[in-house]
């Protein structure tokens, strides 16, 4: 069983300061934690990253004060645009970036994002279940019959198209044959 490591006050302060400085330079928290662990080999990058998040969420003098307010459509658009734009980044990093832009706590952003996403999935599944629920068993038979007829018509259209292509080729060959006959007649 792993022993929980105790962080010294110096390690806590240096971790917060180091990662904050690297974030200003454009590093992700994961990259900054990796750099911090190079300076402190007894701390793994994972430990540094996890403890950094714990510190900024629990330490009173580093906690930001966020007002609770209703999400606007513009904020929702920004949230989903960022998630779409930075889909190769981890969500926690995106929410951290957005916390500064939207002046909201990263956990509140994450909660809202996943809530919106789940509600959307529920609405879609409810719509589709209601849609399919409106069909009666004999309507399914009719629907599949229509689909098979459309498939037959499509296949016939492809066959007709290939025949028309053959007719064009035959017409072109006849024209070339007639031209060749005319040239042959001119030589005779």
pLDDT, tens only, 73-130: 998 898 888 888 888 888 888 888 888 888 888 888 888 888 888 887 777 776 666 6
pLDDT at 1: 46
Looking at the structure, do residues 120 and 94 belong to the same domain, yes or no? yes
pLDDT at 137: 64
Total domains in the fold of the chain:
3
2 is a domain residue: no
C-alpha 12/C-alpha 61 separation (Å) is 13
CA distances from 143 to 127, 129, 134, 151, 155 (A): 19, 17, 13, 12, 19
93 is a domain residue: yes
**How crowded is residue 96: how many other Cβ atoms within 10 Å of its Cβ?**
19
76 is a domain residue: yes
Looking at the structure, do residues 84 and 97 belong to the same domain, yes or no? yes
- Give the chain's mean pLDDT: 79
With a cut of 80, say whether residue 67 has pLDDT above it.
no
Looking at the structure, do residues 36 and 84 belong to the same domain, yes or no? no
Lowest mean pLDDT of 27-36, 44-53, 80-89, 149-158, name the range. Answer: 149-158
Q: Which of 118, 131, 124, 77 is nearest to 101 (CA)?
A: 77
Tell me the residue range of the domain where 118 lies. 66-134
Tell me if 71 sits within 8 A of 112, measured CB to CB: yes
C-alpha 8/C-alpha 13 separation (Å) is 9
Looking at the structure, do residues 119 and 168 belong to the same domain, yes or no? no
């Amino acid at each position: 069983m792993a022993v929980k490591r105790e962080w010294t006050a110096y390690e806590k302060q240096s971790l917060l300061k180091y990662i904050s400085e690297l974030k200003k330079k454009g590093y992700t928290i994961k990259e900054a934690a990796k750099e911090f662990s190079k300076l402190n080999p007894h701390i793994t990058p994972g430990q540094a990253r996890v403890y950094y998040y714990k510190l900024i969420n629990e330490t009173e003098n580093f906690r930001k004060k966020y007002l609770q307010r209703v999400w606007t459509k513009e904020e929702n658009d920004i949230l989903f645009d960022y998630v779409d734009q930075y889909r190769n980044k981890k969500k926690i990093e995106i929410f951290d970036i957005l916390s500064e832009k939207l002046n909201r706590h990263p956990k509140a952003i994450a909660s809202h994002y996943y809530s919106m996403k789940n509600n959307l999935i529920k609405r879609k599944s409810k719509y589709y279940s209601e849609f399919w629920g409106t069909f009666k068993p004999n309507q399914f038979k009719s629907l599949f019959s229509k689909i098979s007829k459309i498939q037959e018509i499509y296949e016939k259209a492809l066959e007709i198209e290939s025949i028309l292509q053959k007719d064009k080729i035959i017409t072109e060959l006849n024209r070339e044959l007639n031209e060749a006959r005319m040239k042959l007649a001119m030589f005779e």
